[in-house]
Each structure stands twice: as structure tokens, then as C-alpha cells.
Structure 1
Amino acid sequence: MKNYEEAIGIDVSKKTLDAYCYQARLHKVFANDLSGYKSMIKWVLRVSKTRDVFYCFENTGYYSLKLALYLDSQDIVYVEESPLKIKRSSGVVKEKTDRLDACLIARYAWLYREELEASTVKRSSHLELGRLLALRDQLVRNNAGLKGTLKEMQVLLSSSTTDAGCTSLVRSIAYLQKQIKGIELRITDIISTDVEMSRNYELLSSLKGVGLVIACQLIYHTGNFTRFSSWRAFSSYCGTAPFGYRSGTSIHRRKQCHYLGDRKMKSLLSMASVSAIQHDSELHLYYKRKLAEGKDKMVAINNVRNKLIARAFAVVKRGTPYVILQQHVA
């Protein structure tokens, strides 16, 4: 971004916004609603004495989304940054207050203003896709918990069909399954009505092990394959990329995946890899070859995960479905 004259750090909570002007060294609290946003903009323009201002705040999900939508609608430059980046740039901080958090965010924005990139709001279809995927995941977890409870009760009871508790659980499970099916239909509608997402979904579906959920999650987390420059960058984001660990001559460990990463994507890729090993002859041979080289089972599965990520980015970039070359070998 250009060299702005003022950076405003905002600590976003459910009901309030703590705004801090870094150069003016002023702090004020506003409501986290439309009137609060308007009041904050007026206050910033009054105390900063310049219009060359940009705003910075942490990505806190739904709480920060409303603010981002408003700033985007007013063509106001803002940066929605990862909380971890801001926290690690702040050094050792022993106190925790909303005012201090806003001050640290403003400090981060000012120090890194030349390196930061302005954020933009995702399209409404993309935002709805993310909400539905998160809701589906929650319903699936709830459904699995109810199934586990039902299974335990059936073991204990002599006649589970006449028990009121079991009957209620069966009805709840059926209802949740119906809701999950409805969400999946809506996800399919969103994908089919968006030309770019529909195209990439069809390409991803050509990969063995990639179904509706993993394909949609890939589309959502990659911003429909516009957020990451390469599959290696996305692998690092997911936590599947191995990194070296060396220091001097005495510390020399084997490469390992970093614990920081999107655990949900990593888990989905693991399940997709297991399925791909069973149904894709190339990946099956690749997995067996890694085991024969003496690699641990989980290391070999991680290799397959990265293979899937590389294939996903390749088919989208190339614009053609994946073809198993081995089936054309004479």
C-alpha cells in the first residue's frame, strides 16, 4: 500500500469497537453497529487532521464481517489481518485490555504499512458458501454425537424400540440428516449458479478422493483459487508442508509439518488421501513406494495430501480435468 499518514487500529468485540489513532495517540469506544461505524469515521477524520488514513483490525469472524462490509461499501481502505501475526509482532505483552489491543493493532499497521495489502470483501455467494460449510460441519458433529449416544443406550437396554429416549434420538438423527441434505443441496445450487466456481468444481471433481465437501472447502479457502500463488503456499496454510529444523552443528532434525495451520482442511485432506489411495492406482503405487523407502505411514499419507493439493491447483490452472495416465499405458 502507499505511505499513509495515519493508521487506525480497531479491536473488534461483539458489541463494541475500540479505535486507536496511532499518530494522534487517541482512543475511543464505539458501538459495533452502523451508527457506531459512522461515528468512528467522523471521529477519525476530526482528530487525525488528514484524510490519508487506513484502518486495521483482526479477523474475528462474524463480529468483524459487519465492519468490513461497511468499510468496503464506503470505499474506505482497510486491512483485515490474522490475529496471530499481530500477536507475534507485539513482543512480550503482560497486560490484556481492549484499549491496549487496539493500540497494538495500530502499531502493527503503522510499522508494516508499506508491506500490507488492502483487504476486500468476498462475494455474497462466497460468504454464504462459507457459512453453509461451517453449519454443515457443526450439524455433522452433532449428528455423530447423537448416534454415539443412541448406540450406547441400545447396548444397555433390552428393548430399545420401546424406549422413549431411543425413539427421541432416532427422530433427532433423522431430522439432522434431513437438514444436512438440505444444506448440501443449497451448496450445490450456489456452486452451479456461479460460473467460475462451477467450472473449478467440475475440474476438482475429476480427482479421485475429492467429493462435494472437500471440493467446496478448497474453493472457499483458496478464494476460488485466487488467494494463493501456488499449491506450496496453500500446503503451508493447511499445515501439510514440511519445514527444516537446523541450528549450528548439533541440532539437525528431520523435516516436519508445522503445528500452525488450518486443522479442518488438514483433516479433510487426510480423509481424501485415504480414499484416493484406495481408488487411484497412481497414488496407490506412490504411497506404497514411499512406504518401501522406509517412510512412516503418516509421512507417506502427508506426501499423498500434497500430491492432491498439487493436482487440484494444476487442473484449475490448466483448465482441463485430471486424467490418470497409467490407464493409457499399453
Structure 2
Amino acid sequence: MKNLREVIGIDVSKNTLDVTLYHSNEHSVFSNDGKGYGEMVKWVDAQLEPGSYFFCFENTGNYSLKLSVFLSSNGLAYVEESPMRIKRSTGLTREKTDKLDSYMIARFGWMYREELVPSEIKPKEFQELGRLLALRDQLVRDRSGLKSTLKEQRHLLSSPSTDICCKALQRCIKHLDKQVLGIEKRMQELLKTDDFLYDNYKLLRSVKGVGLILSCQLLYHTGNFMKFDNWRRFSSYCGIAPFEHSSGSSVRRRKQSHYIGDRKMKTLLSMAAVSAIQSDQELKNYYHRKLEEGKHKMIALNNVRNKILARSFAVIKRGTPFVNIAATSY
């Protein structure tokens, strides 16, 4: 991106796109649809030489997905960046408008143009996998809420088996159970459509504590293990990598994880760690050894989470299933 002479910042919302050219500070608004995208490109090309610029905008999920597909299909250079990174680059700001946001996004793109890498649209199977994971997560949350309500109803009523509210809640829960199972079945079918993807999935399942959902999340977030060089980088992305905190001669805090990270991945890895401690003797011994060393339970659990990540990346790199050497030595 460093050879391009202009950055176009786009603030993406549900219905509109606020577009600003960084150097000329020209601003315009377009609709967030195919017609608006075409008008935006015509407006930009009328002021700039084609191929001399790139677009920069925040990853806003479904709102920015259509824009990414349009730019990619038309061969236009763009960078889809994390909203957190852009926000932290703006410094102290008191005003917030869509126009100002688009300018700050353009400013970010120009400041970091030598470091930014052109974004690419995810393959269709990854897009569908992401949608399935998000929908399953929503359905599981809804099911948990209904189960909690059912529990309260049963506690309040003397005859919950005949109450129409309890029956209705039970039918809803059973329906959600079927929907969740259907989504999981579709996820497995989707993995089988790509041999490389399915081979990596089977390798991940060989690691103790790594189930269907965690495997799919790992494949999705790592781009089938193409986006991250090693497990330590991905551990930092998830928010479970410990970092040093010191300053001068007086500030010497213990290493701890940063609060910024993917909370969903963090939760899934925590569940995997709890499961692995119960089913894997090596990890169980490792966890208790850390506790005997005086480590806090959450620190010991975090060590297990990183162990699971290290094993996951290792089986993918080797291309062979995980083998518990300690278990085979008996």
C-alpha cells in the first residue's frame, strides 16, 4: 500500500457509506448497496487516477461484507481493519460524526500505509462457516435463557408437569435442540467439501479437549491456519498470552493476559481446558503441578489453555494426529 498516493476512508453503517478522500478532504454519502458502490467508484475515479488509491474501512460484520465482496470482485485494493485498532489510533477526540469517522479512518490508512496489507475476501465455505457458528451461538444463548425460565417456573408451581407455560417452554427447548443439531450437521458437511479443511479438522479432533465447535472456531479464525505463524501469536489474539508489565525501578507486576482479545475463543478454550484436565492425565498432572508451585487456579488453567493451542498448531504443522506419549509409555 505504500506506493499508492491516496486513501479513501469509509465509515460503514447499515444503510449508508460516508466516504472521505484523505488529502483533499472531499466527502460524500452513498447508499450501502450495489447501486451506491457503483456511484462511489465513479465519484472517486472522477477525482483520482484509477489504481492510485486504496479504500480503508472497519470490519463491521454483515454491514461491511457486501462492500468487501464488491471491491474484491472489481479488483479494487482495500484494507478491512479492526475497529479497535482504528479507534486507538485516533488519539483524543471529543466529537463523533459519521463524516469525522470516515476522515479518521482515511487518516489511519495513510499513517500506516507502509504496514497495511491488502485484504482479501474469505472463501465462501469460510463465510458460511462463520454464519453457522454465529447462529448456533445465538440459538444456544436463547436455549439457555429458556432453560433458566423453565427452572424458575418449576420452582414456583406446585404441579409444573400440567402447567401450559412449562409445556410451551419444553417444546421451544426441544425445537432449539433440533435446530442446533441441524446446524452442527451442516457444519460437518461443509468441512467435508474441502479436503484440506477436513484433514485439518480431523487433526484438531485428535487433541484432547478440542471438540466440534472449538475446531471450527480455530479453523475459521486462523483461516485454516494460514493467518497466524505460530500458536503464540494466536494466543495473543485470543487474549490468553501473558505479557510483562514494568516501568522504571518501582513498577514490577506479574505477567498477565491483556483484556483485549477474542472473548468467544477465550471462553471456548477455557471449557476445553476444563475438559482436558479431566480426560488427559498429562494435562491433569501439569495443572496440579502448577497449583503445587503456588500458582493461582486461573493462571494454571490459562497455562493449560496455551498447551491446547500449542498442541493444535503442532498437529497441523506436522500433519499427523496428536499422540499422548505419556499414555502410551505405560
Aligned to 2:65: 65
Asked if structure 2 preserves the Cα contact closer than 8 Å seen for 1:24 and 1:48, the reply is no
How many angstroms apart in 2 are the aligned matches of 1:34 and 1:321? 45
Asked if structure 2 preserves the Cα contact closer than 8 Å seen for 1:315 and 1:321, the reply is yes
C-alpha displacement at 1:136, in angstroms? 0.3
Residue by residue, what CA displacement relative to the aligned partner does 1:153-191 show, whole Å, maximum 9, x if unpaired? 111111112111111101000000010010010001001
Residue by residue, what CA displacement relative to the aligned partner does 1:107-166 show, whole Å, maximum 9, x if unpaired? 111111111000000000101000000100110111011011111111111111211111
Aligned to 1:265: 265
How many angstroms apart in 1 are the aligned matches of 2:328 and 2:30? 65
How many angstroms apart in 1 are the aligned matches of 2:94 and 2:52? 33
Q: TM-score, normalised by structure 1?
A: 0.99
Aligned to 1:21: 21
- SS at the partner of 1:253? strand
1:70 maps to a residue whose letter is: F
How many angstroms apart in 1 are the aligned matches of 2:49 and 2:55? 15
- SS at the partner of 2:87? helix
How many angstroms apart in 2 are the aligned matches of 1:108 and 1:21? 12
- SS at the partner of 1:228? coil
C-alpha displacement at 1:2, in angstroms? 3.8
Aligned to 1:80: 80
Aligned to 1:106: 106
1:183 maps to a residue whose letter is: I
How many angstroms apart in 2 are the aligned matches of 1:219 and 1:167? 39
1:99 maps to a residue whose letter is: K
For the pair 1:117 / 2:117, whether they are aligned, the reply is yes
Aligned to 2:320: 320
Structure 2 unaligned residues grouped into runs of 5+:
none
How many angstroms apart in 2 are the aligned matches of 1:193 and 1:229? 25
How many angstroms apart in 1 are the aligned matches of 2:265 and 2:85? 20
- SS at the partner of 1:246? strand
- SS at the partner of 2:30? strand
For the pair 1:56 / 2:22, whether they are aligned, the reply is no
C-alpha displacement at 1:249, in angstroms? 0.6
What are the within-5 Å matches in structure 2 for residues 136-285 of structure 1?
Answer: 136-285=136-285
Residue by residue, what CA displacement relative to the aligned partner does 1:221-262 show, whole Å, maximum 9, x if unpaired? 111101111100000000000001101011100001000000
Q: TM-score, normalised by structure 2?
A: 0.99
For the pair 1:290 / 2:329, whether they are aligned, the reply is no
Residue by residue, what CA displacement relative to the aligned partner does 1:294-320 show, whole Å, maximum 9, x if unpaired? 100000000000000000000001100
Aligned to 2:4: 4
1:256 maps to a residue whose letter is: Q
C-alpha displacement at 1:194, in angstroms? 1.3
Percent of pairs identical after alignment?
59
CA RMSD of aligned residues (A): 0.9
How many angstroms apart in 1 are the aligned matches of 2:51 and 2:39? 15
Q: Choose 117-126 or 192-201, whichever is displaced more.
A: 192-201
How many angstroms apart in 2 are the aligned matches of 1:230 and 1:16? 38
Asked if structure 2 preserves the Cα contact closer than 8 Å seen for 1:56 and 1:79, the reply is yes
1:69 maps to a residue whose letter is: V
- SS at the partner of 1:47? coil
C-alpha displacement at 1:193, in angstroms? 1.4
Aligned to 2:47: 47
Asked if structure 2 preserves the Cα contact closer than 8 Å seen for 1:56 and 1:106, the reply is yes
- SS at the partner of 2:120? coil
How many angstroms apart in 1 are the aligned matches of 2:51 and 2:238? 38
C-alpha displacement at 1:41, in angstroms? 0.4
